[in-house]
Structure 1
Amino acid sequence: MALTRTTLHGCVALCVMVCGAQTLHALPRDANGWTIFTPSTDTVKIYVSSSVGDDAFNGLMPDPDGAGGGPKRTVAEGLKLLRPQQPDWLLLRRGDTWTDPGSLNVPRKLDKSLGFDIGGGRAANEPQIVAAYGSSPERPLLRTSTPVVNIVGNGVTRFVAWVGLHCYAFTRDPASPDFATTLSATGYVIPRHNPNGFRILGHASGWTGDFLIEDCVIDFFDGGITCQTNMRNMAVRRCIITNSYNGQFPDSNNGYPDRSQGIFCIDTLGLLVEECLLYHNGWNATMGYGMSIYSHNMYLSTDINPCRVIGNIACGAGSNGGQMRAGGIADNNLFLRNPIGLFLSGDPNGAEEGINTCINNVFVEANDIVNNQGEVARRGVGLDIKRKPLGFYKGNICLDRLSARQQAGIRCTEDPITTAPPILVTGNIVRNWNNASGQGIEVPPELVNDFILTGNVVDGKDQAGNPVVFPDPNRNMDTYMNHLGIGGGWEEFIRRAAARPWGQWPREFSADGFNDYIREGFGMDQKTAASYVLIH
């Protein structure tokens, strides 16, 4: 049997056109995949440094010149120099640290013709940028007890990129000497501060968006990134989003906080989540906040179209590695040690043209939910397919369920639908991940007319029960790390992925690197990078 990596041809286009305007996400990228920003002729670059800056300086030079030129010291003073709707850059010195610097909201001004404040860049190809400068290997560190970005719906902000920042909710990290707690109304110990990292709410009368968050570390917030309400074109690329947990809203059943996400998004016209690491979001065992069915690495809710989830690592979630309720495209992601790897559904305003596309993903070692009382809720699901829209599921690999629940690697569910063509599930591989009936791909009897299964292989046998020989089918994370000469299994893989310096892309600690290693063991073609662009 010849298995090849799936490409998106025919069923879903790579570039979605809605209004024909250029989007910030379509800016060129360098050979290593990083977005290239080019200043405009009138761009003003503003520098900020906690180590060599002074708010008496003009902010227009990276280092003091002895004549009043040099970087500002505080972020707030630097932000004041940004001009609304102009392509200005605010650059924070790498290796410097700020404690509670305030938000990185760019300034806005009243547009009398619109009746509300508006700010940000000039256009998609002339964005306003909050980024970094200098030769230090460390990103600028923002130790904060408040949101890093807190855009609320009392105005409109457009065309902004936040790039290469380290955002750390330092008072919420139980291992930090600055960890601060208080008591909830019900007597539970909770963090004193509960900010989101990036909290972006649109304006009811005018869209907010065309934002890029790239190469940022977002650690220990109540939620890493939240965007909702009349949003357009949101891209999160190559970010490291870890350790989100809810310290604010208790669950009504047991009084403990839950409901926290690495990324939460709803009501957004165009979302791209690409090549991020999302690890251990939705729970915190040290605080006694266990895993929860409401807490995920990615919770991409309804009214998102188009939605792209490409090349990410989602590991150790409170429940789902990725929950895509609006549907969309999931391509070449690694879902590692989540109770449910990916839940892919759809709503009328979700998957474009009613099609879900799930291709080339690798699901490894699904586990269970362990709640606040230590009770185990059995899960162990790799790919959970809901029937609502049309769908195309090919080239996915499910390996080695950890959960004791006898659950299939790929589970097809939902009420029967007789008015739509069946969903194609083809060319997928399942190993050591079967239900009680021995099925690696489960379709309930009432749904047999809603799914077409063809060319799939379960535990080395095709659908007719014939053996299929692969070059090296027993590969896993342990063999991969040994292959790299490192060892340490999945923990060391995640540690190195999370410790990635700014501007670097070690492919061996990406979803792409590991997934290609697994595909090679099954004789599948390796991935060729594709470009996903959202244009509205």
Structure 2
Amino acid sequence: MLLLVPNLGNIALFALIFATSPFLADLLEVGNSVTNRDLGPPTSQFIENVSSGNATMRVQELVQSGVQLIGNLVAPCSRNKSIPSRAPFSFETLECRQLMAVTTDAGGWTVVTPSSDSRVIYVSSSEGNDQNDGLSESAPKKTLAAGLALMRNGFPDQLLLKSGDVWTNEQIVGGNGSFGQGGRSADEPMLFSSYGEGARPKLVNSDLEPVRLVGTRSNIYVIGLHLDGSIRDSTDNPGGINVIGRGENLHFEDNLIDGFGTNLIVNRATSSDTWDDVSIRRNVIVNSWNTSAHSQGIYANAVHGLLIEENTLDHNGWNDAIGDEPSGFNHNMYLSHSNLDVVIRDNFSSRGSSAGLKFQPTAGVHYVSGNVFTQNDFGMTVGGGVPQEVPPITGAEYHVTNNVVVENTTKVTPSGAYGVLVTNVNGGEFSNNIIANKQADNPGWALSIMDGRNSWETRGYGVRDFEVSDNVIYNWRGQVQVKEPTTTDPYTGEISNVRFENNAIQEPSLTNDQPLIQLDAFAADNGVISFTGNKYYSKQAANEWFKLDTTSVDLATWQATKGDAGATNSRVDYVDPTRTVTTYAASLGYTTYEAFISAAKFQSKANWDVRFTAQTIGDYIRDGYQLDTVGVTPLPSPSAPTSSAFAPLPAFAFTAPMQSLMVAGDSTRVESSIVQQDSQPMMVSHQTAFSQLQQRVRLSSLMGGSTTNSDCAETKTDESASDAWNAAFDNWDGGLAGDYSPGG
């Protein structure tokens, strides 16, 4: 039966729902041109009816059309595999059916609900008894071994440890038959977590790995545990979470991992092993050390589909208190060459022994965005791998955007503190990053683009088809280097089609004696890298701003030789370019960096404070690089806490019908009404205004169906709208290279 609907009735309601999403509003605006993008007849009909104000349409058809429109933009159901979009808007599924065991709450935290046949096992060191059945909070087991004995292979069972309790030298161990291979599926995983109120349950271990998953392991979630290596001595070097073998769908979230040989390891046991879909998110990973081998905060190898998101990493790879000195082989994050299709976003990486991120995959497509790296010797290395192999590596595609690298040090590299090293890259971009305010007074480069060969890596791919654009490099005292191939070996990498555009290279220091850009002989004499529209400034003598091989030249000679159309000799006046993580800590009332980072280590689901996230810290620093067009004083600092002690902010909650929605990148803000249904906002959130803003699209209840979430999505952002329709369906796959141990 047809329903006649007034123009301001349900048609207007649904128009409002979709118009409040700027992306869908754009679709309505362009009208018929959108229908030619093969969105399907229901979507075309919906757009035509809403655009024309047609008041005669079945309400059910209208709702179905809205669902179809979202459905055409939603990536295929894949729990952990992140598929970055190539458009300002795409959607990633959160739930793939009506009743799901794994969901995400309004604060962005993973929730695993027991299935109807789950066995939930309770363990308490303070109140438990192994003679209890362990199936209720009132009758918990006492030891981890007794609890693990009740876990069943292939079932979505849950082992929950009592919050605030402590176990010493006990293990959650999967191997040799213990709890089998894991849960039923990605949607119904096996869970190791906590129950009750209070601090995370703590496993204090000396020579045992508190979480050990070996062999074939799939569909396992580890959430909300404290793994403590403080009782180790120099002869004990266990990992915190040690995953060795093969499998899929592993998820580690909200854990505090402190003081192990390597805090979190995911590696293969044999050259044919791989892990698919591994997520490492919102953990605090700190203070790894090892006096007899290499030590990392996170080490991952042979993972296909890896998400590392919103973690806090600090002081991994060294322990000065016991004489474990920093090493160039130890890092906060070390991702070896056999990983494929990695997303690293919104992490805070501080004071690594050497690199904040050593990122070496030699194939696949990878994304590094929104991270803050501070007080590392290397902010990050992008590319690398094992180029001595024959046949040579083919290079991976890297998209490195919107990161902040500041205050680098020289713990193990006295010759220089380096910002970013790029090598063995085949396509991608390095854009909208800030590299600024190096602590050390030495000539380490802010950005080094290399051919992929050095003293121990004899063959490489080089850097090809790569764009470096819209970055700020400020006060580094050693800015940009492009390094030539150094051998006639046919496998030596090459630098070709590198585009260096619209960057601001600014050197205000009087102590600087390095050029703004140095090209070694090959890059200086050949058109392997092009320059356009960059802004240069230095207090050096004008004829020393650039170096072509060994010859110093001024801007005019530089342009005559290398082009750089539109380049300017101009000091860019920023609002407050002195901003660093240290000044941010001071703005919050912390008198030392150590006090600030100690507070940041309290991050957890129960104490989530947005002031300690990479998003907030990065935004503070980026705000300092706004253009000062009217001579304003530095921007106001964030509000200071009431005391220098850690005081978590309350959890985010929607309290008003008007919310800010960031769209099409980090700089466009749209104010729009949030239409509510069942107290859930019918909108989607942006990528960088904190994960607490994640929301769900709820249409099922409007259709008279179940009130469970039927279409849940979160936004992604990226650079090109032209191929948005296909990007969500990309499937990243590739081959494997060789193998490495968790070392440099």
**Structures share a fold, TM > 0.5?**
yes
What is the aligned partner in structure 2 of residue 490 from structure 1?
593
Q: Which runs of 5+ in 2 are unaligned?
A: 1-83, 269-273, 454-459, 479-511, 540-565, 628-665, 668-687, 691-714, 718-727, 734-744
Q: Quickly say closer, same or farther: Cα 1:11–1:162, change in 2 above 3 A.
A: same
Is 1:341–1:381's contact at 8 Å kept on the other side of the alignment? yes
Q: Which has the larger radius of gyration?
A: 2
CA apart distance, 1:501: 4.0
Note the C-alpha offset of 1:79: 0.8
- Inter-CA distance 494–369: structure 2 relative to 1 (3 Å threshold): same
* Contact 1:97–1:142 under 8 Å retained in 2: yes
Share of identical aligned residues, percent?
30
| Residue aligning to 1:477 | 581
Asked if residue 468 in structure 1 is aligned to residue 572 in structure 2, the reply is yes
Structure 1: 5+ residue runs without aligned partners?
1-7, 64-69, 110-116, 173-179, 181-190, 250-258, 371-375
Q: How far is 1:14 from its partner?
A: 8.0
Q: Which amino acid aligns with 1:123?
A: S
Map 1:151-170 onto structure 2 (within 5 A).
Answer: 151-153=213-215, 156-170=216-230
Q: Contact conserved, 1:478 with 1:487, CA < 8 A, in 2? A: no
Hey, what does 2:323 align to over in structure 1?
A: 288
Higher mean alpha-carbon deviation, 141-150 vs 88-97, is at 141-150
Name the stretch that deviates more: 51-60 or 124-133: 51-60
Aligned position for 2:108 = 33
Residues 318, 457 of structure 1: alpha-carbon distance in 2 compared, 3 angstrom cutoff = farther
Q: Deviations along 1:432-461, whole A, 9 cap, x unmatched?
A: 103266445655453464445556556699
Distance in 2, matches of 1:286 and 1:510, equals 27
Supply the distance in 1 between the matched residues of 2:175 and 2:158 (Cα, whole angstroms): 10
SS of the counterpart of 2:240?
Answer: strand
Separation in 1, partners of 2:613, 2:516: 26
Question: 1:58-137 to 2 correspondence within 5 Å?
Answer: 58-63=133-138, 70-105=139-174, 108=177, 118-136=180-198
1:105-131 C-alpha deviation (Å, 9 max, x unpaired): 38848xxxxxxx951010001000000
> Which of 247, 262, 268 lines up with 2:303 in the alignment?
268
Kindly tell me: are residues 420 and 293 of structure 1, through their superposed partners in 2, closer, same or farther at Cα, counting changes over 3 Å? closer
- Aligned-residue Cα RMSD (Å) equals 3.5
Corresponding position of 1:49 = 124
Shift of 1:152: 2.6
CA separation in 2, counterparts of 1:351 and 1:270? 20
User: Is the Cα contact below 8 Å between 2:392 and 2:461 reproduced in 1?
Assistant: no
1:314 and 1:335 in contact (8 A); partners too: yes
* Contact 2:425–2:462 under 8 Å retained in 1: no
Task: Report if aligned partners of 1:343, 1:383 keep a CA contact under 8 Å in 2.
Answer: yes
Contact kept? 1:430, 1:458, Cα under 8 Å: no
In structure 2, relative to structure 1, the CA distance for the partners of 1:413 and 1:107 (3 Å cut) is same
* Alpha-carbon separation, structure 2, partners of 1:418 and 1:74: 52
Letter in 1 for 2:401: I
The aligned counterpart of 1:242 is 286
Alpha-carbon contact 2:152-2:180 (below 8 Å) kept: no
Shift of 1:423: 1.3
Structure 2 CA distance, aligned partners of 1:441 and 1:9? 33
| Partner SS state of residue 621, structure 2 | helix
Q: Equivalent residue of 2:419, what SS?
A: strand
Secondary structure of 1:31's counterpart equals coil
1:268/1:455 Cα in 2 relative to 1: closer, same or farther (>3 Å)?
farther
**How has the CA–CA distance of structure 1 residues 38 and 418 changed in structure 2, closer, same or farther, with 3 Å as cutoff?**
closer
* 1:377 match: secondary structure: coil
CA distance 1:473–1:36, change in 2 (3 Å): same
Question: 1:335 — aligned with what?
Answer: 373
Paired residues, number: 473
SS, match of residue 320 in structure 2? coil
CA distance in 2, matches of 1:85, 1:350: 41
Question: After superposition, what is the alpha-carbon deviation per residue over 1:326-382, rounded to whole angstroms, capped at 9, x for unaligned?
Answer: 162111111110000100015599999941011111111111134xxxxx6333111
CA 45–106 in structure 1, closer or farther in 2 if over 3 Å, else same: farther
In the alignment, structure 1 residue 140 sits paired with structure 2 residue 215: no
CA distance in 2, matches of 1:419, 1:286: 40
Query: How far 1:240 moved relative to its partner?
Result: 1.0
The answer for the alignment partner of 1:223 in structure 2 is: 262
Residue equivalent to 2:236: 193
Query: Does the CA contact (< 8 Å) of 2:284 and 2:311 recur in 1?
Result: yes
Q: CA shift at 1:27, angstroms?
A: 4.8
Q: Tell me the TM-score normalised to structure 1 length.
A: 0.80
Q: How does 1:312-461 map to 2 (within 5 A)?
A: 312-326=347-361, 328-345=366-383, 354-370=396-412, 377-414=414-451, 422-435=465-478, 438-439=514-515, 444-447=520-523, 449-454=527-532
Q: What is the alpha-carbon distance in structure 2 between the residues aligned to residue 163 and residue 332 of structure 1?
A: 24
Residues 382-426 of structure 1: CA deviation (Å, up to 9, x unaligned): 111114321300111112112222123122111599998531111
Q: CA deviation at 1:248?
A: 3.1
Q: Secondary structure at the match of 2:118?
A: coil
The Cα of 1:222 is off from its aligned counterpart by 0.6
Letter in 1 for 2:380: L
- Contact 2:449 2:463 (8 Å CA) reproduced: no
CA contact (8 A) 2:102 2:113 kept: no
Q: Indicate if the aligned counterparts of 2:174 and 2:214 stay in contact, CA closer than 8 A.
A: no
Cα offset, 1:195, TM superposition: 0.5
Q: For the Cα contact (< 8 Å) 1:79–1:106, is it kept in 2? A: no
1:75 Cα offset (Å): 0.9
Distance 1:514 1:353, change over 3 A: same
Verify the 8 A CA contact 2:377 2:418 in the aligned structure 1.
yes
Structure 1 CA distance for aligned equivalents of residues 431 and 382 of structure 2: 14
Q: Which amino acid aligns with 2:264?
A: I
2: CA distance, partners of 1:85 / 1:415: 45
Asked if structure 2 preserves the Cα contact closer than 8 Å seen for 1:340 and 1:379, the reply is no
Cα distance in structure 1, aligned partners of 2:308 and 2:143 = 31
How many angstroms apart in 2 are the aligned matches of 1:298 and 1:26? Answer: 30
Residues 35-64 of structure 1: CA deviation (Å, up to 9, x unaligned): 12222111111111111111111111112x
1: CA distance, partners of 2:431 / 2:354: 24
Q: Deviations over 1:66-107 (max 9, x none)?
A: xxxx11111111111111110011100001111111234388
CA contact (8 A) 1:55 1:73 kept: yes
Contact 1:298–1:323 (8 Å) recurs in 2: yes
3-state SS in 1 of match to 2:618? helix
- Verify: 1:214 aligned to 2:253, yes or no: yes
Query: Secondary structure of the equivalent of 2:322?
Result: coil
Give the counterpart letter for 1:150 in structure 2. R
The verdict on how the C-alpha distance between 1:107 and 1:387 changes in structure 2, with shifts beyond 3 A counting, is closer
Q: 2:618 & 2:284 partners in 1: Cα distance?
A: 19
Which whole-Å CA distance do the structure 1 matches of 2:462 and 2:439 have between them?
37
TM-score normalised by length of structure 2 = 0.58
Answer with 438-447 or 236-245: which moved more.
Answer: 438-447
The farther-off stretch of 221-230 and 446-455 is 446-455
Shift of 1:535: 8.7
